[in-house]
């Protein structure tokens, strides 16, 4: 049984709600009409003129105060079973010795004459009691011994510019630094002997149960801020991207959310066009551009509708910018920024996690309405 496939499925389910897919050409048609110069739209827009501006009205936001004290305390919960965990089960006194079994993808174990017992989420003690109760149908006063032989259900994802990226077993309490160390540490250039040009700590992130956590990896790994060194939970996803990345992410209410490669100069309109344009219900007057560290981002809100009709200059983008086309107007700028970070992190995690679990996995586009 391919447990990586099961893990990948669980990861994708936890990262985002069902994807809203559209197949339209409305944006391209609208752009054509605009470029042809409908008189009712005001000033004619000429794509060949240098109507491009660098945006300066960014507002800083910070999520560093969102770290909970409980995240810094090692968990004390008893171990619970899950798919892939292996164990030896022995009926004491029957002379047959222990039998090896594992928890299947359905969360059940199959032992003796039992048709299948659901042990997903049970401790070993609870599993022992359940087995003795069910086996009492066939054996008088059974006594069971269980020995855990392998843990496969409790894992964390550590991917990106590190020496040994992969999926690691979480058999005991583990912090972020311990997980990165277990994965071989940050990838180091064989030429310069440094990691600065390889791991982009300002754009690294951690996702837990589908939510972006406000961890500042640069403060943790460069400044020694141990308050960022939280304990991990099963299915936590750590990603440290390459600092050489030159992509711009276009997300939200567009037909094809995606990463757009940065070549020479990319503007807001061209980036959104590369994502096949906004959907019909997109709220174009509140398009966000996010720039800077993920834990301390700067956000600017621009009127794409005004740009499209030539009433405002197009916006020049920079590598690693995140463009978000909303479904609805926002009321809180900080909440807007946080939900954009959440959408970005889920999208990257879905794609990078999919590639780690299944080679050649197709990229995932994510549309998530942010509401108010």
Asked whether residue 46 is assigned to any structural domain, the reply reads: yes
Per-residue pLDDT tens over the stretch 255-286: 999 989 887 789 999 999 999 999 999 999 99
User: Residue 208 CA to chain centroid, in angstroms?
Assistant: 8
Domain that holds residue 72: 1-77+152-372
Domain boundary among 122, 150, 178: 150
Q: What is the pLDDT of residue 3?
A: 55
Q: Please state the pTM of the whole predicted model.
A: 0.74
Same domain, 111 and 235: no
Same domain, 118 and 202: no
Same domain, 299 and 219: yes
Same domain, 131 and 159: no
Same domain, 212 and 251: yes
Per-residue pLDDT tens over the stretch 110-133: 998 888 999 999 999 999 999 999
Same domain, 366 and 262: yes
Distances in Å between the Cα of 369 and the Cα atoms of 66, 99, 197, 329, 349 are: 23, 50, 34, 11, 18
The dihedral built from the CA positions of residue 359, 361, 363 and 366, taken in this order, carries a sign that is: negative
Asked whether residue 85 is assigned to any structural domain, the reply reads: no
Asked whether residue 82 is assigned to any structural domain, the reply reads: no
The DSSP-derived string for 80-148 is ---TT-EEEEEETTSSS--EEEE--TTSEE--TT-S-EE-TT--HHHHHHHHHHHHTTTSSS--EEEEE
* Structural domain count, the chain: 2
Q: What is the pLDDT of residue 369?
A: 41
Residue 340: phi and psi, rounded to 5, are -65, -45
Asked whether residue 119 is assigned to any structural domain, the reply reads: yes
Task: Kindly report the CATH number assigned to the domain that includes residue 145.
Answer: 3.30.1950.10
Q: What is the pLDDT of residue 94?
A: 83
Domain boundary among 119, 150, 181: 150
Same domain, 198 and 220: yes
Burial class from Cβ neighbours inside 10 Å (0-12, 13-18, 19+) for residue 156 reads: buried
Asked whether residue 124 is assigned to any structural domain, the reply reads: yes
Asked whether residue 3 is assigned to any structural domain, the reply reads: yes
| C-beta separation of 317 from 299 below 8 A | no
User: Residue 182 CA to chain centroid, in angstroms?
Assistant: 21
Same domain, 174 and 95: no
Same domain, 227 and 186: yes
Same domain, 8 and 109: no
Asked whether residue 367 is assigned to any structural domain, the reply reads: yes
Same domain, 356 and 271: yes
Domain boundary among 99, 120, 150: 150
Local mean pLDDT, 10-residue blocks, the chain (372 residues): 56 50 43 42 42 76 73 88 94 88 94 91 94 92 93 93 92 94 83 62 92 92 94 95 87 93 88 94 94 88 92 92 92 84 88 74 48 36
Asked whether residue 249 is assigned to any structural domain, the reply reads: yes
Same domain, 271 and 176: yes
Taking the C-alpha atoms of residue 157 and residue 84, their distance in angstroms, rounded to an integer, is 16
């Amino acid at each position: 049984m391919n447990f990586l496939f099961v893990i990948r499925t669980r990861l994708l389910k936890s990262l985002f709600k069902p994807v809203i897919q559209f197949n339209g050409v409305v944006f391209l048609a609208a752009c054509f009409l605009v470029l042809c110069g409908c008189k009712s739209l005001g000033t004619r827009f000429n794509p060949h003129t240098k109507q491009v501006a660098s945006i300066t009205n960014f507002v800083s936001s910070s999520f560093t105060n969102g770290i909970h004290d409980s995240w810094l305390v090692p968990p004390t919960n008893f171990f619970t079973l899950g798919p892939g965990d292996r164990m030896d089960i022995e009926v004491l006194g029957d002379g047959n010795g222990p039998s090896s079994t594992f928890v299947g993808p359905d969360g059940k174990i199959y032992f003796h004459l039992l048709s299948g017992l659901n042990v997903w989420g049970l401790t070993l003690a609870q599993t022992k009691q359940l087995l003795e109760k069910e086996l009492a149908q066939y054996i008088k006063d059974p006594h069971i011994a269980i020995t855990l032989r392998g843990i496969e259900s409790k894992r964390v994802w550590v991917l990106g510019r590190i020496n040994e990226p992969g999926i690691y077993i979480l058999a005991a309490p583990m912090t972020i630094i311990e997980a990165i160390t277990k994965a071989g540490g940050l990838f180091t250039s064989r030429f310069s002997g440094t990691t600065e040009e390889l791991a982009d700590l300002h754009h690294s992130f951690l996702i837990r149960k589908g939510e972006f956590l406000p961890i500042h990896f640069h403060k943790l790994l460069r400044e020694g801020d141990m308050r960022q060194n939280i304990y991990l939970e099963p299915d936590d996803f750590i990603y440290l991207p390459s600092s050489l990345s030159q992509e711009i992410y276009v997300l939200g209410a567009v037909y094809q959310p995606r990463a757009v490669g940065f070549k020479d100069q990319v503007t807001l309109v061209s980036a959104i066009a590369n994502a096949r344009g906004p959907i019909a219900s997109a709220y174009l007057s509140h398009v966000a551009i996010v720039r800077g560290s993920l834990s301390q981002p700067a956000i600017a809100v621009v009127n794409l509708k005004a740009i499209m009709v030539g009433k405002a200059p197009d916006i020049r983008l920079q590598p690693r910018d995140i463009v978000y086309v909303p479904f609805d107007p926002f009321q809180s700028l900080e909440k807007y920024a946080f939900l954009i970070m959440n959408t970005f992190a889920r999208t990257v995690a879905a794609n990078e996690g999919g590639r780690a679990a299944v080679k050649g996995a197709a990229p995932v586009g994510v549309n998530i309405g942010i509401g108010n």
